[in-house]
Amino acid sequence: KRVSHNDVSSLETVLSRLPAEAGQLVVVDGVYSMGGDIAPLPEIVPICKKYGARIMVDDAHGIGVTGPGGRGTAAHFNMLDQVDLIMGTFSKSFASVGGYIAGKADVLHYIQHHARSLMFSASLPPANAATVLTCLDLLESDPGMVTRLWDNANYMRAKFRELGLNIGGSNTPIIPVIIGDDLRTVLAWRALADGGVYVNPVLPPGVPPHLSLLRTSYTATHTFEHLDRAAEIFADVGERLDLFTAKNAQSDTQTINAG
């Protein structure tokens, strides 16, 4: 069953209506890929425990980004021991392919022998595994990498707010610029690309209707000079395409109910 986005009361309503004997697994994103907001685990986990539900966090966009040393969303909230399963991908922060799932040994043993997606998948190539291990080594050897990432994200978030762009409820290095209209979103994407700024245009069904956006994301290797230049180009494109209207300047008032 689906629940409203990050709505703990909606989650409790759904769990309270399930039969007590039913197996209950609550699955949430740690960081949502379009809105850039974080799942409120300190609110979600107690509700799960109240109704005997297990919780699984898909941390595809959290690992390498959130928490001490980039250890993910559960670590961000100091709740690693309170989450039953954590899964993620190697295709984002770790620049590779494949993924992982972490949890108790008996649960992982069951998954290993019953999950069709694992049983009928090829093994991870050694070169890709080596890439992941190298990324982990870099995170451990350079603790400042995650700090620099967040400094860059916070810097750009402030720039967007100064411009009056609608960035929704983002509080991570994924920062959407919500435009709403499909055509203007594509035109803005094209104009930004022509100016030297690469972003991802996201239209329905990737986001709900009337919430088309430009998905921006940041790395530890960006400099403030890079970000200042990007902000200048956003300002120019926004002026030309009228992205600074009152309708589009509602920063922090919308969240994207999508993964």
Q: Where are the domains of the chain?
A: 8-141, 144-248
In the prediction, which pLDDT does 259 show?
54
Residues 95-119 have a mean pLDDT of: 94
Helix (H) / strand (E) element for 113: namely helix 105-114
Closest CA to 153 of 177, 172, 139: 172
pLDDT score of 100 more than 90: yes
Render pLDDT for 66-79 as a digit per residue (tens, 0 to 9): 999 999 999 999 99
Residues 34-55 have a mean pLDDT of: 97
Report yes or no: 121 and 189 within 8 Å, Cβ to Cβ.
no
Percent of the chain with pLDDT over 90: 87
Q: How far apart are CA 94 and CA 179, in angstroms?
A: 30
Report yes or no: 70 and 93 within 8 Å, Cβ to Cβ.
yes
At residue 228 the predicted structure's pLDDT band, cuts being 50, 70 and 90, is very high
AA identity, residue 114: H
Q: Which residue has the tokens 């080596």?
A: 130
Q: Which CATH number is associated with domain 144-248?
A: 3.90.1150.10
At residue 4 the predicted structure's pLDDT band, cuts being 50, 70 and 90, is very high
Long-range contacts, stretch 154-163, CB < 8 angstroms, 24+ apart: 155/224, 155/227, 156/216, 156/218, 156/227, 156/230, 156/231, 159/227, 159/228, 159/231, 159/234, 160/231, 160/234, 160/251, 161/251, 163/231, 163/234, 163/235, 163/238, 163/244
User: Are domains 8-141 and 144-248 of this chain identical in fold?
Assistant: no
Percent of the chain with pLDDT over 70: 94
Angle at 32 between CA 108 and CA 231, to 5 degrees: 140
Sheet with 25-29, side-by-side order of all strands = 25-29, 54-58, 85-89, 99-103
pLDDT score of 255 more than 60: no
At residue 251 the predicted structure's pLDDT band, cuts being 50, 70 and 90, is very low
At residue 161 the predicted structure's pLDDT band, cuts being 50, 70 and 90, is very high
Residues 110-139 have a mean pLDDT of: 93
Q: How far apart are CA 127 and CA 201, in angstroms?
A: 32
Mean pLDDT of the chain: 93
Long-range contacts, stretch 48-51, CB < 8 angstroms, 24+ apart: 48/15, 48/24, 50/12, 50/15, 51/12, 51/15, 51/16, 51/18, 51/24
Residues 159-172 have a mean pLDDT of: 94
How, if at all, do strands 212-217 and 174-180 pair? antiparallel
Residues 167-185 have a mean pLDDT of: 96
3-state secondary structure of 115: coil
Residues 160-182 have a mean pLDDT of: 95
Q: Which residue has the higher pLDDT, 251 or 223?
A: 223
In the prediction, which pLDDT does 63 show?
97
Q: Which CATH topology does 8-141 take?
A: Aspartate Aminotransferase; domain 2 (3.40.640)
AA identity, residue 205: P
Report yes or no: 40 and 3 within 8 Å, Cβ to Cβ.
no
In the prediction, which pLDDT does 249 show?
47
Residues 85-95 have a mean pLDDT of: 96
Residues 88-107 have a mean pLDDT of: 96
Q: How far apart are CA 167 and CA 178, in angstroms?
A: 6
